[in-house]
Structure 1
């Protein structure tokens, strides 16, 4: 009989602190940034963008870490693996994630590069343009993976952004092997279309080999992964390769396909969209929490939509409201 997991989910992701500031559309253009996009930057470019930003707010982020923050707020037992540096932002990240009830024991890395940060420009309509200095995150070594810890989690959740740097990619491959050996599920979030463009072959190989049980994508990532421009064609192509597919469509809601079952949900109403940072991360948090609790697809999607709506109503990618109370009120 399988040993019950110590954690509901353990995630591997970027350990990043978000530095956020409101701005005019003109500033995004002046800096030569793609509005609404995400770019990887070096230290010099980070200094240039930071100097042009207005008063900023620092909030711990990182895609998978944001998802865990939402899951922990919903009562899930969570652990995180990610790399920070031995510096001030590293201390901020460690404090914030542990304060959220998430286990985090990866030792801080001494010396350069510094802890990762994402410089986020938020325009008046809530659209966010992200500029990420990965910093220490890209040096998460395979040796950081505790295989016993991985085996003790019901689901291993992997952040696609981490597939690009060589060391974290090797670390995630090791974690997948450990999870598979223990009979645990592996969930993967594609993160961004450009990551798929760079590593599409690897991702398709993982899917073909049956290494991924749950795949999270948005509609743009779905098109990049499958090569299908039409959403329904892409959905069919991807659903044939993975046991559970979850595809989000922003204001158009989301779809999940598991086996022969399909469910859809509309986006939750929001009084005012303040900042879309973390919408996909919190959707994944709500859906995955519902899924591990045995909720039907439609209900798990609804929980995801509720969580996503909460996070886009304020600055930052971590929930501010009591998600458990919010979900209980809206689900009825």
Structure 2
């Protein structure tokens, strides 16, 4: 199976210490972004993946392309656009709880400005070049052209018989909840696997119960295979028709950074499905990758290679037996 991950990557600047960005001294740059994270997670798990996006023809765009290639991700669908800077964001760990907050600088990026040439990608989707498309709601909130591009991607994937997974991936700094609710409903008829975090489900649908979430999405036209609610430290739950599956989270000694954990879950789940596993086993791989993610700084730096993931899964299976 070949997976196309479509959406905007960014460079994240991670501070050298905790505290307000107004006071920290230095930063370390990393490639980041929901779809890039998932593509890299898949590649590390041995599943062929490609990234479709537009970045600036600048050093940060080059950093993203190099990072993706170094991880084995196909970058032939990454466009380099002159005159528009690559999107950037900063992480901050501050406050009494030390929670992660982010500051985005992406409104002038190529994708936010509608400089993403989709025609070749759409044609390839229609021809069945990829068997799975993964994307997120972020693309739909970058601007009107990007939103239209998201619709075109979903339509082309359907025409090409491609399985579609979609993570709503709410970013309140991009749009208000009303706009996110509208997008969540708009894409529902086009999606096979619908991912939401439990807090996102509560904010958008008023519930995080998987059966109730699935019912709400079905009322919007969802007729796909399943809805998955990611629950962080509580694991994940899936609703497929009348069946609800739950899997626990993997224990983690110390949480360093939670950003990227949800994208890691997506990669693990898709990788499990690519191997023909039962849904519960694919979810278990998803929670494993998510657990690895929180042990390191950077969005995807903690993601495991397939041999590492396989070892943990085999150890657990041995204990259960």
Instruction: Determine if the TM-score, normalized by the shorter chain, exceeds 0.5.
Output: yes
Please state how far the C-alpha of 1:126 moved relative to its aligned partner. Answer: 6.7
What does residue 202 of structure 1 align with?
183
Q: Deviations over 1:254-292 (max 9, x none)?
A: 111223332111111111101111010101110111122
What does residue 284 of structure 1 align with?
266
What does residue 253 of structure 2 align with?
271
Q: Which of 123, 136, 156 does residue 159 from structure 1 map onto?
A: 136
Question: Quick one: higher RCO (CA 8 Å, sep 6+), 1 or 2?
Answer: 1
What does residue 105 of structure 2 align with?
133
What does residue 148 of structure 1 align with?
123
Question: Do structure 1's residue 213 and structure 2's residue 207 form an aligned pair?
Answer: no
Q: Which of 184, 194, 202 does residue 223 from structure 1 map onto?
A: 202
Q: Which of 231, 239, 254 does residue 236 from structure 2 map onto?
A: 254
SS in 2 for 1:136: coil
Q: Distance in 2 between matches of 1:233 and 1:295?
A: 22
Q: Distance in 2 between matches of 1:232 and 1:142?
A: 35
Asked if 1 retains the 8 angstrom alpha-carbon contact of 2:210 and 2:244, the reply is no
What does residue 13 of structure 1 align with?
7
Asked if 2 retains the 8 angstrom alpha-carbon contact of 1:83 and 1:139, the reply is no
Q: Distance in 1 between matches of 2:201 and 2:273?
A: 21
Please state how far the C-alpha of 1:92 moved relative to its aligned partner. Answer: 0.3
Note the residue ranges of structure 2 that are not aligned, 5 or more in a row. 315-321
Q: Distance in 2 between matches of 1:140 and 1:244?
A: 32
Please state how far the C-alpha of 1:205 moved relative to its aligned partner. Answer: 3.0
- Supply the RMSD in Å over aligned alpha carbons: 2.2
Please state how far the C-alpha of 1:107 moved relative to its aligned partner. Answer: 2.4
Q: Distance in 2 between matches of 1:20 and 1:77?
A: 29
CA 75–139 in structure 1, closer or farther in 2 if over 3 Å, else same: farther
Please state how far the C-alpha of 1:16 moved relative to its aligned partner. Answer: 0.5
Asked if 2 retains the 8 angstrom alpha-carbon contact of 1:118 and 1:130, the reply is yes
Q: Which of 53, 65, 76 does residue 94 from structure 1 map onto?
A: 65
Note the residue ranges of structure 1 that are not aligned, 5 or more in a row. 1-6, 28-48
Question: Do structure 1's residue 71 and structure 2's residue 74 form an aligned pair?
Answer: no
CA 52–83 in structure 1, closer or farther in 2 if over 3 Å, else same: farther
Q: Runs of at least 4 residues of structure 1 off by over 6 A?
A: none
Q: Distance in 1 between matches of 2:79 and 2:171?
A: 31
Q: Which of 42, 52, 65 does residue 81 from structure 1 map onto?
A: 52
Please state how far the C-alpha of 1:53 moved relative to its aligned partner. Answer: 3.6
- TM-score normalised by length of structure 2: 0.86
Please state how far the C-alpha of 1:177 moved relative to its aligned partner. Answer: 1.6
Q: Distance in 1 between matches of 2:211 and 2:16?
A: 38
What does residue 168 of structure 1 align with?
146
